[in-house]
Structure 1
């Protein structure tokens, strides 16, 4: 009885070991990880990894090996994007007046507040006004925060654009007075006073081979095609554009999803990254959800205006960092990827993220190599495409027919 029990336990352990080892066979690529000497470590996902991973990095795995033992390392994947927090301040409008210099609105904060942004909404849909913003602690002595600050709204068949947000260096006052230079009474419908804090993420510049710019007089568009040096994740694009006059134009940023050959050469299918406006009133930089791209197309609607002068482009992508828990530093660990059928892993580690130390050592990630244990499962042909099975089935059918025929004749 004892011998049978030991045999079952041994068989179970062997099966478990083989099962864990088999987990790595589904991944085409691997990279050795060096420098593991404690429980917590991090590693940066390099651009070269992206081209061979599944969309969303769902197939990233870390396995450790020691002898016949295999372990899987739980991890958290983080994207180093900007983190923006808004804190709204309660206020009352205590005064609305006007004179030859314009229209005035005085806001009283519930408490002396530090703010750096005011968002305004107006009933009017077409206007171009200059504003002045002042601050005071006693509603008597005023200090200038903004001067000749332009707010604008345009709505017609070609454009639907608003710029009614005041941005300024953080100021702390009890009273804020807004002056609007306008030819008509501004109909202020809403105002938000905010303190906006931005925790800057870590981005890496994305190299591109160059760009091809075409000003199409027929479609009244400027089209810019950008080919990246290597496909990578992209989440930021800045256009250095100039004009002799103020401008505001509809802008669309797309990325190529696939390509196909035609008589006119290679053509591309595109998906949208960003849809908005490029304006002389705002810094021409655009943030969007990170996507893995190799080619970008920018389309600017000029309508009947002179095309903008484009001098350069700046592209950036987020840095992806993986934080893993290595329970046994004595194992040899490697990063595996390249499994199109993999689902995102589900680790309990995400629930206890606050337990991760603030200071974590970075690992050294080795060069990409083919996983020697990778196996491609051969697709099995349908049963009825197998000739042996067909002949066997026919033999069974003929045998059955003969048997029943013989029975009938005998009866």
Structure 2
């Protein structure tokens, strides 16, 4: 009888875990037009209300099947080198003679080196470089280049750099001695440019609730309808023509004290100096907030008027495979969930970087359980309940063991 009761208790606990519904919010992914992987742009509201590490984020299709994903974040800035070729307007190859090519420096930029892309070769050649304003009169820039070891073990072409005194001729001529030898095959002449790209960001208004000026300080309270995520604040100020004021930024958190009396606490998350010569942007780090307060030290000056405050953060995406034939939603808000482990994470480097963008619909609060929601939560996503089951199983095993020992003693 005792065994049966314990077994029933375990089954009830197991059942309650399987059908637990702890998500608090959901949002739909807007329909996509193509099959394949997409970058799902995560909104400030989702990032503000989800767990800070997004461990509670789950994507489901219309059948309630969980879809694998990984999180990608924009870098503040990235750089890469790109080869830019000059226009080759003339080239000549004469056997057992001097071959040459002429390339055009279209914008007459001042340059001090060029890169030549050649098909692999293992010869030595002498070369020289000259410049011209009209392609008639040529002037020496550098003589006696030695071109050699122009081959790659990984590709059929190689790049060779030729350096020279800073020059801005509109035309350059590269001459190569080919006496008694076949010419080398120069495919391109150009240079490598480093392109710096700023990371894409999301920007939104953070409404001003009030501004109170007193005792040489200004207190500006900012309030959103719900928690949002932000990393930077951009403050638009008017007032004095010239100003330089110390300022601190606080996050307001609601508390309750003295019974049912509501209150709040302030936690400083940043400080800066507002200056008439700057853009007045403040980096406050990764922050989830509903209300903020800016405190400005006016000293003996007249208060400044804060006209507008905007918030921003570097874009974050959930990378997932989507199809126009299916609908998808995202659920989040379960504080007890840990991050999912998908095979996809091991192959993120093989996913193209240039993906179509998908957007989210407005967020909705989950008011009650639904069959789909019940199927969505896995037993193994709630670590606290897992330990509860393990503890209960341990108790059962202990009781069974004690009973067996007693029975063995009685038989003896």
TM-score by length of 2: 0.49
Bigger strand fraction: 1
